Amino acid sequence: MNFRPADDTSAATALEIKGVSKAFGRFPALKSVSLQAREREFLALLGPSGSGKTTLLRVLAGLETPDSGEVRFGGEDFLALPVRRRRVGMVFQHYALFRHMTVAQNIAFGLTVRKAAERPSKSEIADRVNNLLQLVQLEGLDKRYPSQLSGGQRQRVALARALAIEPRMLLLDEPFGALDAQVRRELRRWLRELHDRAGVTTVFVTHDQEEALDLADRVAILKDGELVQLGTPNEVYENPADPFVFDFLGQTCRMPGVVAQGRLQVADWVSEAPAGAPQGAVEVFFRPDEVSFGAPDAPGLLAQVKGVAQRGPDVRIDCRVGEADVEFQAHGPTLPQGVGAGRSVRVLPLRPQVYAA
Amino acid sequence: MNPAVRLPGFAPLMLLGALAVLGLLIVLPLGVVFQQALSQGLGRYLEPLTHPDSLAAIRLTLLVAAISVPLNAVFGVAAAWAIARFEFRGKSLLVTFIDLPFSMSPVVSGLVWVLLFGAQGWFGPWLMEHNVKIIFATSGLVLATVLVTLPFVARELIPLMQDQGADEEAAALTLGAGGWTTFRRVTLPNIRWALLYGVLLCNARAMGEFGAVSVVSGSIRGQTTTLPLHVEVLYNDYEFVGAFAAASVLAGLGLVTLVLKSFLEWRHSGELSASRRH
């Protein structure tokens, strides 16, 4: 196998998706989606169920044909190629291992189905299978059947099988979806390392924002078949394009406000409006833990603390702000200064986002 | 069964009742078949079986099964694949039609061919002109048998293939396999035991079918009588030993099928459709 260190600075565009639309009957699954992935990039397609992310992945694999649009890979028209000539390694959500084949036979499958002229010799195939088993840390399990493996092991076999054909692109459909939380976190790290070593452009689908933000070089957020935002994890987290993205990427406090003459007013708190904020009635979004607490004469929203609850490392602070109940969060073993049930505090959102109402 | 569960007091009575019914309706008649067949010794038992008409009937039965079972296996796999893998207009109609022979009297399944290809049928005159014989000939028997046994393989495969989903086939395609390779190396191995199960039931029915074939057969001895028809012919001639001897062959076939079927259910239950799992 050809392992190269990941080198992002010199990367050219590998995958180019232009205006791809796809409808199932009268249900539009994808509406003119356009995006690019760079060579050796790890791109996450993030969205709730029904957002079209899996459909897009299957279009890339060739398992679905878009109604319109273009898909190019390395400059080549990908849509003109049938599935089996695209050389994409796909890992399915439920792994789709061949149940009647052993682990070794599963991994070798993509090599053994090649035409005689292009097929490696038996010993070459055996060597390749052994290398891959080593890579996915499953040595010694080559004679097992899929039904005799744990979920995490199956997933690694599926990955080895996809890598065996030396894919030009790796597609992962909810790679951690069927695993429990502990295994999930371990495999996440490992998958990222594997991607960096294999140096293959990887597109993966997930509905878990934490996973996408933790793992990907860039995140494409989809909603109802449309691309809403594309950017690095930091960009999308710190500058969500719209209320949907903000809400989808983490816990959210939202309050109505008004922007006028460069000032933003939320309840009794008036501050300078962020640059580029829309005028008039707005919705103000902020994270429940991105706030600072101050004395009642400090700037911020006046809040009546109704209750405080310790939850593991976090503290939940239930407050009444104006007419609304709002839940804030603080980290660490001690409560922020001045906070306690029944007391009044000022809560200052540190990074409020303002969207038109 | 959970050993902690105690059977209610009347359970032995119900069990006895069930056994009595079973004995009266199944074991007793089956015993009678063999008892009658062997009533005048092994020699008299084998004699009617080796009669040329009997041999012809056995041959014809095997021939009809040998043609109609593979036809149904191919149809069953194709139909199940289409139904389990694709969405298309009229799909539920197709599923309903596959079941039709189960709900329709076999006599009707025979009669339709007479109405189509018989001397008075739609295509009768044309066939007569071209000297093609379907009714009262082997091809008619095959047609009737195929129609009656149509659901067996497809019914067995559809739920299994729906259950297994298309992901493995999709995976094979992404790994570079062509359509035929995918079918041969992924689809077929996944359904092989269920297919065998369906073929087994289909075969038992194909060899044992009476109603539909009797309509199209015309019961020409030594030519168009299959084994079940042969039993009736002999019985109507008061050749009871011969009739029971022929019947015992059919009964034996049924028992072999039952054993094989039970073996499949026991050994490969995971690869049969869910309704067959024990």
- Both tokens assigned to B145: 């048998």
Number of domains in chain B: 1
A192 shares its domain with A263: no
Give the per-residue SS3 of chain B: CCCCCCCCCCHHHHHHHHHHHHHHHHHHHHHHHHHHHCCCHHHHHHHHHCCHHHHHHHHHHHHHHHHHHHHHHHHHHHHHHHHHHCCCCCHHHHHHHHHHHHHCCHHHHHHHHHHHHCCCCCCHHHHHHCCCCCCCCHHHHHHHHHHHHCHHHHHHHHHHHHHHCCHHHHHHHHCCCCHHHHHHHHHHHHHHHHHHHHHHHHHHHHHHCCHHHHHHHCCCCCCCCCHHHHHHHHHHCCCHHHHHHHHHHHHHHHHHHHHHHHHHHHHCHHHCCHHHCC
Q: Do A96 and B189 touch (CB under 8 A)?
A: no
Starting at the earlier edge strand, list the strands of the sheet with A263-266: A269-272, A263-266, A253-260, A280-286, A353-356
A24 inside domain: yes
CA distance B269 to chain A (A): 14
Query: Is the minimum CB–CB distance between B175 and chain A shorter than 8 Å?
Result: yes
Say yes or no to pLDDT of A103 above 90: yes
For the stretch A226-236, pLDDT in tens is 999 999 999 99
DSSP string, A306-341: EEEEEETTEEEEEEEETTEEEEEEEESSSPPTT--T
Does residue B122 sit within a domain? yes
Question: A63: which chain B residues are within 8 Å (Cβ-Cβ)?
Answer: 170, 173-174
Pairing status of strand A88-91 against strand A42-46: unpaired
Contacts of B186 in chain A (CB under 8 A): 98
Question: Same domain, yes or no, for A239 and A272?
Answer: no
pLDDT per residue, tens digit, chain B (278 aa), is 455 577 777 888 888 999 999 989 988 988 888 888 888 888 888 888 888 888 899 999 999 999 999 999 999 999 999 999 888 888 889 888 888 888 889 998 888 888 888 878 888 888 888 888 888 888 889 999 999 999 999 999 999 999 998 999 999 999 999 989 999 999 999 999 999 999 999 999 999 999 898 888 877 777 888 889 998 988 898 888 888 888 888 888 888 888 988 888 888 877 776 555 54
Report the residue of chain B nearest A147, measured CA to CA.
B270
- Contact list in A for residue B167 (CB cut-off 8 A) is 92, 94, 96
Q: How many whole angstroms separate alpha carbon A305 and alpha carbon A321?
A: 9
| Nearest to A220, CA basis, from A235, A230, A209, A208 | A230
Tell me if B264 sits within 8 A of B193, measured CB to CB.
Answer: yes
* Residue at which a domain ends, from A247, A272, A291: A247
Q: Where in the sequence is the domain holding B266, given as residue range(s)? A: 43-276
Q: Which residue reads 């559809």 in tokens?
A: B158
Alpha-carbon distance B243 to B235, whole Å?
5
Three-point CA angle A56, A59, A62, nearest 5°: 155
Residues A180 and A201 in one domain: yes
Judge whether B3 lies within some domain: no
**Are A216 and A240 within one domain?**
yes
| Residues A158 and A138 sit within 8 Å (Cβ to Cβ) | no
The closest of A90, A46, A352, A98 to A220, measured between CA atoms, is: A46
Cβ-defined contact of B175 to A97 (cutoff 8 Å)? no
Q: Report the residue from A61, A99, A114 with minimal CB separation from B174.
A: A61
Amino acid symbol at A294 = G
User: Does the residue B94 lie in any domain?
Assistant: yes
Q: Does B167 touch chain A (CB under 8 A)?
A: yes
In a domain, B173, yes or no: yes
- Short-list A202, A194, A187, A165, CA closest to A43: A202
* A112 lies in some domain: yes
The verdict on A276 and A129 lying in the same domain is: no
Partner A contacted by B170 (CB < 8 A) = yes
Q: Coil, strand or helix: which one is A148?
A: helix
Chain A residue with the nearest C-alpha to that of B173: A84
Query: Cα distance from A34 to chain B (closest Cα, Å)?
Result: 23
Residues A278, A175 share a domain:
no
In a domain, B15, yes or no: no
**Domain around A41:** 13-247
* Residue A326 forms part of a structural domain: yes
Same-domain status, A143 and A284: no
Residue in B closest to A93 by C-alpha: B167
Interface mutation target, options A57, A98, A147, chain B, most CBs of B under 10 Å = A98
Residue B254 C-alpha, separation from nearest chain A C-alpha, in angstroms = 31
Query: Are residues A326 and A235 located together in one domain of the fold?
Result: no
B38 to chain A, any CB pair closer than 8 A? The answer is no
CATH of the domain at B138: 1.10.3720.10
Q: For chain A, what is the mean pLDDT?
A: 89
Q: Is B165 within a domain?
A: yes
Cα B211 versus chain centre, distance: 13
| A88, A100, A114 ranked by CB distance to B174: nearest | A88
Are both A24 and A103 inside the same structural domain? Answer: yes
Among A212, A247, A282, identify where a domain stops.
A247
User: Which member of B167, B186, B189 has the closest CB to residue A94?
Assistant: B167
Q: Does a structural domain hold residue A2?
A: no
Asked if residue B242 belongs to a domain, the reply is: yes
Contacts by A100-105, CB closer than 8 A, 24 or more apart: A100/A145, A100/B189, A100/B190, A101/A145, A101/A146, A102/A142, A102/A143, A102/A144, A102/A145, A103/A133, A103/A138, A103/A141, A103/A142, A103/A143, A103/A144, A103/A145, A103/A146, A103/A149, A103/A157, A104/A129, A104/A133, A104/A142, A104/A143
Instruction: Determine, yes or no, domain membership for A3.
Output: no
Please tell me the distance in Å from B117's CA to the nearest CA on chain A.
42
CB atoms within 10 A of CB B16: 10
Measuring CA to CA, how many Å separate A55 from each of A22, A61, A244, B167?
8, 10, 21, 14
Same domain for A285 and A153? no
Q: How far is B1 from chain A (nearest CA, A)?
A: 25
Q: In this structure, are A176 and A113 located in the same domain?
A: yes
Q: Do B174 and A114 touch (CB under 8 A)?
A: no
| Residue numbers in B near A94 (CB within 8 A) | 167
Say how many C-beta atoms besides its own lie within 10 A of residue A72's C-beta: 16
Higher pLDDT pick, A90 / A180: A90
The predicted pLDDT at position A146 comes to 94
- Give the integer Cα–Cα distance in Å for B226 and B218: 11
In 3D space, the residue among A249, A234, A314 whose CA is nearest the CA of residue A286 turns out to be A249
B182 — alpha (psi -120 to 50), left (phi > 0) or beta? alpha
Contact A96 B190 (CB under 8 A): no
Q: Which residues of B touch A88 (CB under 8 A)?
A: 174
B178: left (phi over 0), alpha (psi -120 to 50) or beta: beta
Q: Do B172 and A86 touch (CB under 8 A)?
A: no
pLDDT at B261: 86
Q: Is A280 in the same domain as A213?
A: no
How far is the alpha carbon of A21 from chain B, nearest alpha carbon, in Å? Answer: 20
Residue B230 corresponds to which amino acid? H
Domain count, chain A: 2
Given A218, A247, A276, the domain boundary residue is A247
SS3 A251: coil
List chain B residues with CB under 8 Å of A109: 172, 175, 177, 185
Cross-chain residue pair A88–B173, CB shorter than 8 Å: no
CATH of the domain at A351: 2.40.50.140
CA distance A88 to A169: 5
Q: Which residues of B touch A162 (CB under 8 A)?
A: 174-175
Q: What 8-state DSSP symbol labels residue A98?
A: -
pLDDT of residue B6: 73
The one-letter amino acid at B194: A
Give the CATH number, domain containing residue A64: 3.40.50.300
B164 in a structural domain: yes
Which positions in chain B touch A86 (Cβ < 8 Å)? 174
Over residues A93-118, mean pLDDT? 93
Q: Spell out which residues of chain B touch residue A114, defining contact as CB-CB under 8 Å.
A: 176
Give the per-residue pLDDT at A106: 96
Q: Which residues of A touch B184 (CB under 8 A)?
A: none
d(CA A321, CA B2): 59
pTM (2 d.p.): 0.81
> Which tens digit of pLDDT belongs to each residue from A272-301?
888 888 889 999 999 999 999 988 888 888
| Domain annotation covers residue A234 | yes
Measured in residues, chain A has a length of 357
Between chains, do A109 and B177 touch, taking CB under 8 Å as contact? Answer: yes
Give φ, ψ of B101 to 5 degrees.
-60, -25
Describe the crossing of helices B151-164 and B188-208 by its angle, rounded to 10 degrees.
160
Task: Note whether residue A345 is domain-resident.
Answer: yes
pLDDT in tens, A296-353: 888 888 888 998 888 888 888 999 988 888 899 888 777 787 788 888 899 999 999 9
In-domain check, residue A4: no
